[in-house]
Amino acid sequence: MELKLEKLNEFEGRKGPLLLVIMDGVAYGRMDESDAVYLAKTPNLDKLLNDIPLQTKLKAHGPAVGLPSEDDMGNSEVGHNALGAGRVFAQGAKLVNRSFESGEIFQSDNWKNVIQHGKNGGTVHFIGLLSDGNVHSHINHWFALVNKCAEEGIQKVRLHILIDGRDVGEKSAMDYVNPTEELLKKINSEKGFDYKIASGGGRMITTMDRYNADWSIVERGWKAHVLGEARHFKSAEEAVTTMYNEDPKIIDQYLESFVIVDDNDNPVGTIEDGDAVVFINFRGDRAIEISKAFEDEIFDKFDRKRKPNVFYAGMMEYDGDLHIPKNYLVSPPAIDRTISEYLCNAEVKSFAISETQKFGHVTYFWNGNRSGYINKNLETYVEIPSDKIAFDKAPKMKAPEITEKTIEFLKSGEYKFGRINYPNGDMVGHTGVMEAAIEAVETVDEGIGKLLPIIDELGGIAIITADHGNADEMFNMKNGKKDVKTAHTLNPVPFVIYDSNYNGEYKMADVKNPGLTNIAGTILNLLGYKNVDGYDQSLITFEK
């Protein structure tokens, strides 16, 4: 299909640029004491939501972004896929669930290779996030893989569990460790096999770094999973409960790395030559770095000490352009005809800006899981390095720098379209610290307050929206007590068109169940182009 845009007859766009502002993790909450967005002083956002008629609420979770059910919270990856794709694609959890349901996953050559390594005397290792958050992984997938190994007669399996506390309750580790231990015990008892948890750690401390932000996180994971170098415990339960007792304020995602040892204090599950390793997360951002550590021959991020000769596979291909990892069990969605491809084909110059934590979202995920530029002559991507400290300690993050760089690009006159992501509401919301989340939202509001006058000055348009909720729901009440919530929410997100030159040329369309995928067609319309075949309906209409 030719990626060609047609001009609108009714509207040619504004003389100035169109700016898309993504307030990551900012949605409509309960407007009570649990809602950091509501509690924050946000004069600019308040004015937009109260005074601008060109607005609506968008779904950013569940089937609206390609996830299995209405109970599945959205996330930044699927959110930006939806924003850039203009239509819904089946996403990670949905794809993986289908593959398990059909049994297709166990028919793949790569799974057969895993089994063959186990039958040849190697150990089969599974590494990943152990929870039912369904954002990066699901405990059901762990159980299905382990049970299949038992069915296939694999004698030795080791689990390297990353503790969540981010997409699920902040101190819910034992809700997942206990049933896992029960399953392993049952298999060992019934079949005489050797299945054990071998290592672990909190996801923000161990293994699951992203965007090259802090490779020491991956190094700690490598030491624990591969080398057996971390604090010793006799069981995962002992590790978790000990750390809880040592620091009652600690939450799961920050639990230190640990190794399970036998009665002689020897690690029970180091990774050795001839073993098979499967990284079971289906979401890519926090799976790429550990995959590179296992696969790259030339590697300078830390001293691996040794690189075992193993068969390594991911649940999915985490980077389709760089082909990381080389082997995977389930193919990712093939997202074609992204809005950036159409804009580049029409020679529309654009920019994308965020800090490290969300840079990949406004580039790689926006472009349909595609690395690099679509057309470097027409696009400029700017990554502002994130700080390497806990986000609640610096809730402003790099929002001021994002704002400053955006103003510079807008004023340059070179670009017709720009997209930026303020990560604050999401990254600080994940910490569960209310005061920090409020400051994070206020910081984003300050940024918007500086951008809108520039849009006015240039005669442009701004779209203000979000990819999912987070800071809008910082706790729930449970048995009369506050239960801190660090996960994303199921709440709708705002969508506002700020157009100071608006003179009734268009109006909000009557869209049934509008979601993030409706934004791409809207962007095309506001730039003066018709929506393209196959894209979801635009949120605006030119019908009088």
Catalytic annotation, residues? 76
Write down the residue that tokens 């182009």 correspond to. Answer: 529
399, exposed or middle or buried, with CB in 10 Å at 0-12, 13-18, 19+?
A: buried
**Residue closest to 339 by CA, chosen among 86, 90, 81:** 86
Distance from C-alpha of 176 to C-alpha of 174, rounded to nearest angstrom: 5
CB 321 within 8 A of CB 370: yes
**Residue whose structure tokens are 């530029």:** 373
Would you say 324 and 279 are in contact if contact means Cβ atoms under 8 Å apart?
A: no
Please report where in the chains the tokens 């990066």 appear, as a residue: 136
Strand partners, 217: none
CB 246 within 8 A of CB 191: no
Cβ distance 431 to 204 under 8 Å? no
Q: How far is CA 30 from the centre of its chain?
A: 24
Judging by DSSP bridges, how do beta strands 18-23 and 417-422 pair with one another? parallel
User: 440 phi and psi, to 5 degrees?
Assistant: -60, -45
Bridge partners of residue 233, in order along the sequence: 260
DSSP-derived secondary structure for 337-354: S-HHHHHHHTT--EEEEE
Considering just the CA atoms, what is the radius of gyration of the chain in Å? Answer: 24
Distance CA 395, CA 498 (A): 26
Residue 451 tokens, joined: 């951008």
8 Å CB contact between 22 and 58: no
Say whether the peptide bond before residue 325 is cis (omega within 30 degrees of 0): yes
Contact 161, 131 (CB under 8 A): no
**DSSP string spanning 26-67?**
-----SSTT-HHHHS--HHHHHHHHH-SSEEEEB-SGGGGT-
- Residue 193 in contact with residue 155, Cβ under 8 Å? yes
Q: In the block, which residue shows the tokens 């297709």?
A: 104
Token pair recorded at residue 298? 């030339």
Looking up tokens 């002992």, which residue turns up? Answer: 238
In terms of C-beta density within 10 A (0-12 exposed, 13-18 middle, 19 or more buried), how is residue 543 classed?
exposed
Q: Would you list the DSSP string of 441-470?
A: HHHHHHHHHHHHHHHHHHT-EEEEE-SSBS
Closest CA to 282 of 312, 316, 313: 316
Q: Three-class SS string for 11-36? A: CCCCCCCEEEEEECECCCCCCCCCCH
